[in-house]
Structure 1
Amino acid sequence: MSELKISDIQRMVDDWIKKFGGGYWSPLSMLAALVEEIGELAKALNSIEGGKGCGNMKALVEEIGDVLFALTCISNYYGIDMGDALKKCVEKYTVRDADRWIRK
């Protein structure tokens, strides 16, 4: 698969929801799904980093995709441009933490 822009990801998820999902879930149901997927991501990461289990990169990749899908659904529901939200986040950290990190 070729590289995707964030806008491509949002469009791909929206197209899938319209075709197969029957519409977006309620906001709290989408949040619950996101939290569930984050828990599964934590389990996969814990397994890789020497916690319980034997580590499985395939599971980690799958769970990252699931988290991204769930977060994209919430963003789409509210009409939030994820690229713009990320830019604002990086700008916030850049200003707030200007003297916190060593620049390379």
Structure 2
Amino acid sequence: MNKLQKEVDKLINEFGGYWRPFEMLAAVIEELGELSDEMLKFEKVKGEGSIEKLEEEFGDLMFALFCIANYYGIDVERALLSSIAKYRSRDKLRWQ
């Protein structure tokens, strides 16, 4: 488990442990909605936003995703590197 995942795991265990999987998924969906709202504000589609608030909501979403990864024993670094390799191979001609 990487350093950031360990930090999330430590905090969650201090709080009493992980939620059930679908409760964590609901948290991801909620955080994604909050990030979306901040993006709309930042892009001046819906009010005014700030990069600080956008970063905060991005962090909240990542935290919720890391909780799911930890629960299932997924190494987020390995998962992301695998996705990068997949996109690099699959989509290499897409942007030309």
TM-score of the pair, normalised by structure 1: 0.88
Task: Identify which of 7, 12, 30 aligns with 2:7.
Answer: 12
Q: 1:24-63 maps to which residues of 2 (within 5 A)?
A: 24-63=18-57
Find the aligned partners of 1:58 and 1:95 in 2 and give their Cα distance: 34
CA distance in 2, matches of 1:85, 1:25: 22
| Per-residue Cα deviation, 1:56-85 (whole angstroms, up to 9, x for no partner) | 222111101100100000000000000010
- CA deviation string 1:21-74 (max 9, x = no partner): x11001100000000000000000100101111112221111011001000000
Letter in 1 for 2:13: K
In the aligned structure 1, how far is the partner of 2:24 from the partner of 2:84? Answer: 25
Q: Which runs of 4+ in 1 moved over 3 A?
A: none
Residue 65, structure 1, aligned to residue 41, structure 2: no
Corresponding residue for 1:86?
A: 80
Q: Tell me how far apart the structure 2 counterparts of residues 51 and 94 of structure 1 sit (CA, whole Å).
A: 32
TM-score, length of structure 2 as denominator length: 0.95
> Residue in 1 aligned with 2:95?
101
Offset, 1:95: 1.0
Q: Letter of the aligned partner of 2:2 in structure 1?
A: S
The alignment of Structure 1 onto Structure 2 pairs a total of residues equal to 96
In structure 2, list runs of 5 or more residues that go unmatched: none
Residue range with higher mean Cα deviation, 69-78 or 50-59: 50-59
Question: Gaps spanning 5+ residues in structure 1: where?
Answer: 1-5
One-letter amino acid of the counterpart of residue 5, structure 2: Q
Amino acid at match of 1:46: L
